[in-house]
Copies of this chain bind each other. A is one copy, B any other.
Amino acid sequence: MAAADSSVYRATTTAPVNIAVIKYWGKRDATLNLPTNSSLSVTLSQRSLRTLTTASCSAIYPTADELILNGKPQDIQSSKRTLACLSSLRSLRQALESTDSSLPKLSTLPLRIVSENNFPTAAGLASSAAGFAALVRAVANLYQLPQSPRELSRIARQGSGSACRSLMGGYVAWRAGELEDGSDSLAEEVAPASHWPEMRAIVLVVSAEKKDVPSTEGMQTTVATSSLFATRATSVVPERMAAIETAILNKDFPAFAELTMRDSNGFHATCLDSWPPIFYMNDVSRAAVRIVHDINRAIGRTVCAYTFDAGPNAVIYYLEKDSELVAGTVKAILTTNTDGWNGPFYDILKDVTAPGVSLDKIDSRAVEVLKEGVSRVILTGVGEGPVSVEDHLVSATGDVLSH
């Protein structure tokens, strides 16, 4: 089959969001997106949050590659990271084509990539991880590349560091690696979602404020200026990585929870120790910290854990069996006036009317601050990695579709 015909080649995939429990913060190489330390995340269910991406290529397309995100054409040439991903994927396709001349020369065709998130940007969730994971997975499927998710993670990493962890489901480690070329800086599955499927997460979306410092810039500032950061990267995180992998393998929620909370706090501590200081958590975030500690104290065991990325939103992990205690209490605090009490993970809470923990055991100021400051919740849980689907965003004749 010649590549110069009017065929439109397509492949479509979904990709999940992931939320780190051991945080990625700090690059040892900014171009290659090589981190100063390993990290570990939970892949969130695509029943709640997912990116859907179709990669297509055709001789009928304009000669420049195109990328359309949520209906908006992107300037691909100004995104070195996107270019790096596409270039790596094309090289792998070229290698295939050079060993098997029967393959269509897709590597020579312009790409049209169309991507949509099923969650609003306003949710304040970092969509770049899911976005780059979906892009890499979709093009890899289009090119029928034989590389494993682990190998593809090396490419996705160059798009957005944390994207490498969204190529797999369940509990995923990103090994920092040691090589200068980054070839050993890869994601790998620590345990599949099926190993510990009871993990749940509730995202408290904090009323949007402008994000002060973009995370790439923030990371560079921290690495360059925080006098505490080196201790975190070289000593604290390696210990925590080993400990949390053990906790996950043993399904030891209290250990998982404490490591998650401490690592979030330690990461934000190094942000505060940066110069100038970087603050991502605000009073609403702190109220979420408070209620998590109060719930755990009231129950007498660790049933929930908070974590915060480079923004004020709280993600609270808990196990399904403790849904009423944790999500039920959050529901009682926020009331159902807050958006988001629906979706596939809501069933267990539908009929819960009383808080799992009496609100008089929760700091009353924190309750007020949360009620005022949280604009939306997202109920979700651990989930699978990217899935190939036929729900294409490009028609068989190459037109952009929308969902």
Contacts and interface: CB of A to CB of B under 8 A. Distances in A.
Interface stretch (A94-102, A128-136, A228-236, A391-399): A228-236
A282 B273 contact: no
Contact of A232 (B228, B258, B266, B279): B228
Contacts of A226: 269
Nearest to A276: B293
A289 interface: yes
Interface in A273-300: 273-277, 279, 282-283, 286, 289, 293
A273 B266 CA distance: 5
A289 to B, nearest CB: 6
B265 A272 contact: yes
Contacts of A289: 277, 279
Interface residues of A, number: 30
Nearest to A228: B228
A283 B228 CA distance: 23
B283 A365 contact: no
A323 B317 CA distance: 49
A270 interface: yes
Contacts of A293: 276
Given A228-B232, A231-B227, A236-B227, A286 B282 contact: yes
Contacts of A276: 293
Contact of A228 (B266, B277, B282, B286): B266
Interface in A316-367: 365
Contacts of A283: 282-283
A272 B275 CA distance: 17
Interface string A41-55: 000000000000000
A374 to B, nearest CB: 15
Interface in A252-270: 258, 261-262, 265-266, 268-270
A228 B269 contact: yes
A390 interface: no
Contacts of A228: 228, 231-232, 236, 266, 269-270, 273
Contacts of A269: 226, 228, 269-270, 272-273
Shortest Cβ-Cβ A-B pairs, 10 listed: A269-B273, A269-B269, A269-B272, A228-B228, A283-B283, A231-B231, A227-B236, A265-B277, A266-B273, A279-B286
Given A228-B228, A282-B283, 10 more contacts: A227-B235, A227-B236, A228-B231, A228-B266, A262-B273, A265-B274, A266-B273, A269-B270, A269-B273, A277-B289
10 contacts: A227-B231, A227-B262, A227-B266, A258-B275, A261-B275, A262-B273, A269-B269, A269-B272, A272-B272, A282-B286
